Amino acid sequence: MRSRTSTQLPPPFNQLPRHPILYPDPSPIHTLPTLTRISTRTPHAHPSPRICIFAKREDHGSPLACAGNKYRKLEYIVPDIRSQRPTYHYHEFHPTTQPLQGQATILVTEGALQSNHTVQVAALARNLGLKALVLLNRDTGGGYKTSSSPEHFAQLGNVQINKLLGAEIRTYNANDPEATDAQPVLEELRNAGQRPYWIPGGASLHHLGGLGYARAAFEIAEQERECPLGSSGRFDFIFVACGSGSTVAGLIAGFKLVDSLRMGAAENSPRASRNIIGILNSPTKPRAYHEERVLRFARRAGQLIGLSNSEREITMDDVQLDDRFVGEGYGVVDDETRQALSMMAETEGIVLDPVYTAKVAAGMMHWAQGEEMIEYAEKNGLRQVNVLFIHTGGQAAMSAYFDRVV
């Protein structure tokens, strides 16, 4: 379902500069009828609530290559890229900014070999008439190491598309200095007369990285009016991948503002909190590390969009991350991930990706068939619990996993 009107944002959010990369209409939301049917349990002593599952297709959100969630983040970064004195935050632990002397000439970013983010940055660069340099780390996660053909893994999927887009690719191992510090590469480019604009992996460390999904929260809230959501009238549970963190953080900040405005305008009593569930996709760091990071990103986005009042404060209670589906490593396809890929394809005709969305689908179905949603429905007097699965794209990486997904 697509809303026919543009997303309406309150001030000061609506005053933040944004460059459209997405389609003018919102990415569609549609029902997943088969998953809805199999996730609603057979009544026993009393009728169970209906679990109604929907998908928001961020993989259909942009005309540029390999549409996915990073384009939504990049929309708020492009105005800085195109300014006469762009700034960029080099690293999480280097909070100072360095202004460029003139418009950027090349976008530089980083990621794993099969990074969706690098492809979307490269496509954006070409769309803006800029060059692109992507730094790919073979040792991020275990995709390269666990492949039966590492040589093919390093050439197919998103690597192949980066080449097709004309991006310069530099590949590193974990022990290469550039794998953890891009400053020498940026200095090299500056010495060669380029003006490089640095976009950290996933765009999350960029100070504007959370705004795109704060906007998405308002878009989803408008689309809720067009969906058959029963008495709840909204999505009670929203499932999304949590990698670098700013996608789920932006949703937390955005919905905090959406719901506070709705309560202030039309409701006499608070509603039950929305459940925004970030499904972690890597076991490299403990859940507490990701929770703190997401909270920090959500608060940063909240300040920019106008969440400054104490009653709108974002706290750790707003951050719900689930680390039960991370598997053996980032980019490693385990049996649970493979089953989720197959189930979504065979029941709904939807292709997921093996790194992010398949793990989200596995987590979502676990929740849908467990006790959490039943208890939520009973506590809030609901006969229908509405679940939204956010498909963030990534299918282009599938060919690199030719030996593990079927």
Q: What is the pTM of this model?
A: 0.94
Confidence band, pLDDT 50/70/90 cuts, at residue 405: confident
Confidence band, pLDDT 50/70/90 cuts, at residue 182: confident
Confidence band, pLDDT 50/70/90 cuts, at residue 176: confident
Cα–Cα distances in Å, from 270 out to 10, 162, 235, 273, 354? 21, 47, 16, 8, 39
Which of 382, 399, 387 has its CA nearest to residue 360? 387
Confidence band, pLDDT 50/70/90 cuts, at residue 216: very high
CA separation for the pair 343, 347 (Å, rounded) = 6
Predicted confidence at residue 4, as pLDDT, reads 46
What average pLDDT does the segment 206-216 reach? 96
Cβ(25)–Cβ(361) below 8 Å: no
Confidence band, pLDDT 50/70/90 cuts, at residue 181: confident
Helices (H), 181-307: 183-191, 211-223, 246-266, 287-305
What average pLDDT does the segment 225-243 reach? 93
What average pLDDT does the segment 179-205 reach? 91
Confidence band, pLDDT 50/70/90 cuts, at residue 92: very low
For 42, the 3-state DSSP assignment is coil
Residue with tokens 């963030």: 392
Query: What b/e string do you get for 218-257 counting C-beta neighbours within 10 Å, with b at 16 or more?
Result: bbbbbbbeebebbebebbbbbbbbbbbbbbbbbbbbbbbb
- Active site annotation includes 231: no
Catalytic residue among 3, 27, 39, 115: 115
User: Tens digits of per-residue pLDDT, 150-175?
Assistant: 999 999 999 999 999 999 999 998 88
User: Tens digits of per-residue pLDDT, 101-159?
Assistant: 889 999 999 999 999 999 999 999 999 999 999 999 999 989 999 999 999 999 999 99
Determine phi and psi for 238, rounding to 5 degrees. Answer: -125, 125
Confidence band, pLDDT 50/70/90 cuts, at residue 14: very high
Judge whether residue 393 has pLDDT over 70: yes
Q: What is the DSSP letter of 179?
A: G
Q: What residue type is 74 in one-letter code?
A: L
Predicted confidence at residue 309, as pLDDT, reads 62
User: Tens digits of per-residue pLDDT, 74-86?
Assistant: 999 999 999 998 8
What average pLDDT does the segment 189-197 reach? 94
Helices (H), 128-245: 143-146, 150-153, 158-164, 183-191, 211-223
Mean pLDDT of the chain: 91
Which structural domains are found in the chain, ordered by start? 13-65+207-400 (3.40.50.1100), 69-199 (3.40.50.1100)
CA separation for the pair 11, 322 (Å, rounded) = 33
Q: What ranges make up the beta strands (E) of 281-405?
A: 320-322, 384-391
CA separation for the pair 86, 82 (Å, rounded) = 7
Helices (H), 27-134: 33-39, 69-74, 78-81, 116-127
CA separation for the pair 344, 122 (Å, rounded) = 29
Q: What residue type is 151 in one-letter code?
A: E
For 346, the 3-state DSSP assignment is helix
For 331, the 3-state DSSP assignment is coil
